[in-house]
Structure 1
Amino acid sequence: MDLSIAAILAQDGITTGAIYALLALALVLVFSVTRVIFIPQGEFVAYGALTLAALQTQKFPATCWLLLALGAGCFCAECAALLRYPGRRHRVARTLLTLAGKYLLLPLAVYALTRSTFTQPLPMILQIALTLLIVVPMGPFVYRLAYEPIAEASTLLLLIVAVAVHFVLVGLGLVMFGAEGSRTTPFSDATFNLGELSISGQSLWVIGMAAVLIVALYLYFDRTISGKALRATSVNRLGAQLVGIGTTQAGRLAFTLAAGLGALCGILVAPLTTIYYDSGFLIGLKGFVGAIIGGLVSYPLAAAGAVLVGLLESYSSFWASAYKEVIVFTLIIPVLLWRSFVTPHVEEDEE
């Protein structure tokens, strides 16, 4: 391996590592707020990429139907909750209007907007905005249906539900998109030469967007009230409840941000590689390795670990391409061994 090949592999590793970093941050966010190891995070990557691909080929994205179904399911769940708690019945009419607007009218509006525009050649920025509008609301909808009723359950039960949600979303992805893969139009076809190294404009877009999003997340958690509420919930869930921070709203917000980051990762990675209905699982697992390096609590360590995963994958593909996945996932073993020695063990009932 000469210096030019090493530089090319480093460029590829940093580009993919930036994607993994965003997914790692989303996983840390969801786990720290809700104690959910969000295995279906990768499905939002696939949904975002394939929804954008459908819009670019002027096909109606089937994710709109899924959004309608999830919204209707959430509305029915909320209505059942109103009937279950008699204390809420005196304001049923007002509550039903609010719920209908959130869970029925919003998906219907997104459906109508998509139906009226999908046959038109939209600019790239509008295609991305419409993709996010379709995919991002699925995050809080999934939380409301699958996790909110068991929010106080054990971490093991939450993990089992996460696995079940993953299989459901993968199966729905196969139904909606089929087994064929898709690749989207690059944001930029430009290339920049630094000596013998050629840097693609798409790679710069990925790295730049990842850097902007990481800074935006830092400012959000450090400077906004809702971000500080999420931080408080992640530090001490019971203490946050005692001072009036709604952990249910925090969970929905965490899943909204996670869905947004997942969809953006799909949009960024789709021009670089062909995405299939189940591609998000492997991408999400590599982000999970980065999150594990951060102990599922540290955002900087998770981002750094994800970049390390990207570099390790890139160089492994050169030296031993047949074993690159094995090498990447083997990284978890020494990290877990080290953390088992340095981290005190706490029984879940004592948390």
Structure 2
Amino acid sequence: MTPDVALILGIDGLANGAVYLLAGLGLVLIFSVTRVVFVPFGDVAAFAALSLAAFETGRVPPTIGLVLVLTALALLTEIGSLVRRGESARIPKALLGWGVLPLVPCLLAWLASRPGVPAPVHIAVTVLLVVPIAPLLSRIVFQPIADASVLVLLIVSLALHFLLSGLGLLFFGPEGSRTQPLASGSLPLGDGFTVSGQVILMVASAIVLSGLFFLVFERTVAGKALRATAVNRVGARLVGIRPARTALLAYGCASLLAGLIGVLIAPVTTMYYDSGFIIGLKAFVAAIIGGLVSYPMTAIGALAVGVVESFASFWSGALKDVIVFSLLIPVLMLRSFVSVHAEEEEEEVDQ
């Protein structure tokens, strides 16, 4: 391997790592607030990429149909819950929150599918269109079992991924799609070596969004509420923070990140209805490196995953995923050695 090849692979790894960084932040955010390993995160990103491709070909994004189905299910779930609790007076508010608001991006997407709409509008509407997906899934699937164990939530999340893959096949079909580059041109680095504008855009977007992510958590009331819920759910409830609302906010922020990821990766790889699973899985490796709690360590883990994947693809394209996922073994072993293990006290049960 020559230095030039190593430099190319390193830059490609940073671009991949930027995507995994954003996805890892979304996974850690949801897990810290709700204890859910949100496996379908990558599916939301894939739906965003396919929606943008639909706009470029002059079609109405099939994501509209998916959002409509999820909206109907979430609305029925919320109304049923209110009726069981004897709070029928809150049904009009539920109709607005779970029935009307998710349809606004659908209307915007339908209007944006007409000819002559500029590309920046398509990008913005694409991101908005997928934002309701994760909160709707949360209301339908995870909120009713919010007090279940982490293992049960993980199993349900995995099953939800396969369900979304089937819905993706139903709405989008088996064909793959790739969009036009979001940034043209390149940056020369000397000796005839250049970096494409798309790669620069991906890395810059990761840096900017990570900075905004930090500011939201440190400077806003909503960010502090998310942090409080992540640290102590019971304590947050005692001071007036509703975990259900913070969970909804966490899912919405993660869905926004997934939409941005889909827009960024759509020009660099052909996306299919099930392409999101591998993205989410590699982001999960980065999140595991961060212990599913540390955002800085997740960011470092994401960059490490991207660089390792890039160099592994050079050595053996068939084994690159195996090499990336093998990173979990030393990380888990190290965490097992350094973690403090406490023996559970056995409780005597009087017969």
TM range (shorter): over 0.9
- Cα deviation digits, residues 258-283 of structure 1 (max 9, x gap): 11111111110111111111111001
Letter in 1 for 2:85: Y
Alignment partner for residue 293 of structure 2, among 294, 297, 304? 297
The answer for the alignment partner of 2:30 in structure 1 is 30
Deviation, structure 1 residue 107: 3.4
Alignment partner for residue 315 of structure 1, among 287, 311, 315? 311
Letter in 1 for 2:240: G
Deviation, structure 1 residue 290: 0.4
Deviation, structure 1 residue 331: 0.4
The answer for the alignment partner of 1:340 in structure 2 is 336
Letter in 1 for 2:77: A
Deviation, structure 1 residue 346: 6.2
Alignment of 1:33-44 (within 5 A): 33-44=33-44
Tell me if 1:255 matches 2:251: yes
The answer for the alignment partner of 2:171 in structure 1 is 176
Deviation, structure 1 residue 114: 2.4
Q: How many Å separate the matches in 1 of 2:103 and 2:218?
A: 35
The answer for the alignment partner of 2:349 in structure 1 is none
Alignment of 1:1-351 (within 5 A): 1-86=1-86, 88-89=87-88, 92=89, 95-196=90-191, 197-345=193-341
- Cα deviation digits, residues 60-82 of structure 1 (max 9, x gap): 11111111111111111111112
1:278 partner SS: coil
Letter in 1 for 2:253: L
The 8 Å contact of residues 112 and 125 in structure 2, kept in 1 or not, is answered as no
Q: Choose 121-130 or 227-236, whichever is displaced more.
A: 121-130
Q: Which runs of 5+ in 1 are unaligned?
A: none
Q: How many Å separate the matches in 2 of 1:324 and 1:211?
A: 26
The 8 Å contact of residues 185 and 196 in structure 2, kept in 1 or not, is answered as yes
Q: CA RMSD in A?
A: 1.6
Q: How many Å separate the matches in 2 of 1:203 and 1:174?
A: 29
Deviation, structure 1 residue 305: 0.3
Length-normalised TM-score, structure 1:
0.95
The 8 Å contact of residues 217 and 223 in structure 2, kept in 1 or not, is answered as yes
Length-normalised TM-score, structure 2:
0.95
- Number of equivalenced pairs: 345
1:263 partner SS: helix
Distance change in 2, residues 1:99/1:285 (3 Å): same
Q: Choose 112-121 or 55-64, whichever is displaced more.
A: 112-121
Deviation, structure 1 residue 83: 1.2
- Cα deviation digits, residues 17-69 of structure 1 (max 9, x gap): 00000011111111110000111111011011001110111111111111111
Q: How many Å separate the matches in 2 of 1:266 and 1:319?
A: 27
Letter in 1 for 2:25: L
* Percent of residue pairs identical: 49
Deviation, structure 1 residue 96: 2.3
Q: Which runs of 5+ in 2 are unaligned?
A: 346-351
